[in-house]
């Protein structure tokens, strides 16, 4: 597996080695030992989540705080999304900066997002199945978020704003710096 650290310290884009033949393809999507070598530390994923969404869906930006903060390893099983991570670590040199990575069933890329980041994605294909591993359990009282169209962040979600499908809950999230 190839790995590239992004401009946000601790965020990595991972590209598995894909073996193709006349039957299709095969790749190892996760290997604990190799993954820990890439990120330079131990991690214990305890929860896997999956969502199905249609074109224009924007999920996020979400995070968990305190003892329930989560690191995530995300990938697309079918379709294509624009995956976004925002550094919300107070005191970080890249606080308030974000990255966007296209994840798809064609490129098989994955993104590792460490604790201390907000995360979201938009669906660029007709539909998408999105999968993520978390290193901590979901805890409703610890959840937080940032409005997807935060004017300071100015994230280009890769879809027209008038086509964005956003949950009622996500539409009332605050700005990063209210």
The set of catalytic residues is 62, 132
In whole angstroms, give the CA distance from residue 49 to residue 137. Answer: 11
* DSSP-based three-state secondary structure for 70: coil
> Which stretches of the chain are DSSP H helices?
32-39, 168-171
In whole angstroms, give the CA distance from residue 171 to residue 84. Answer: 17
In whole angstroms, give the CA distance from residue 80 to residue 125. Answer: 5
Neighbouring residues of 78: CB distance < 8 A, sequence distance ≥ 6: 105, 127, 128, 129
In whole angstroms, give the CA distance from residue 4 to residue 104. Answer: 17
């Amino acid at each position: 597996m190839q790995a590239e650290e992004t401009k946000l310290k601790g965020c990595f884009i991972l590209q598995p080695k894909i073996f193709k033949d006349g039957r299709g393809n095969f790749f190892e999507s996760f290997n604990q030992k190799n993954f820990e070598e890439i990120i330079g530390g131990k991690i214990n994923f305890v929860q896997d989540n999956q969502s199905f969404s249609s074109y224009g869906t924007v999920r996020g930006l979400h995070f968990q705080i305190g003892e329930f903060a989560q690191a995530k390893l995300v990938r697309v099983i079918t379709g294509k999304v624009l995956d976004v991570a925002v550094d919300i670590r107070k005191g970080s040199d890249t606080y308030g900066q974000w990255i966007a990575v296209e994840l798809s069933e064609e490129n098989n890329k994955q993104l590792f997002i460490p604790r201390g980041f907000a995360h979201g994605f938009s669906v660029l294909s007709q539909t998408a199945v999105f999968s993520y591993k978390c290193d901590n359990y979901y805890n409703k009282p610890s959840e937080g978020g940032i409005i997807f169209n935060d004017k300071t962040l100015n994230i280009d979600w890769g879809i027209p704003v008038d086509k964005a499908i956003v949950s009622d809950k996500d539409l009332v999230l605050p700005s990063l710096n209210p």
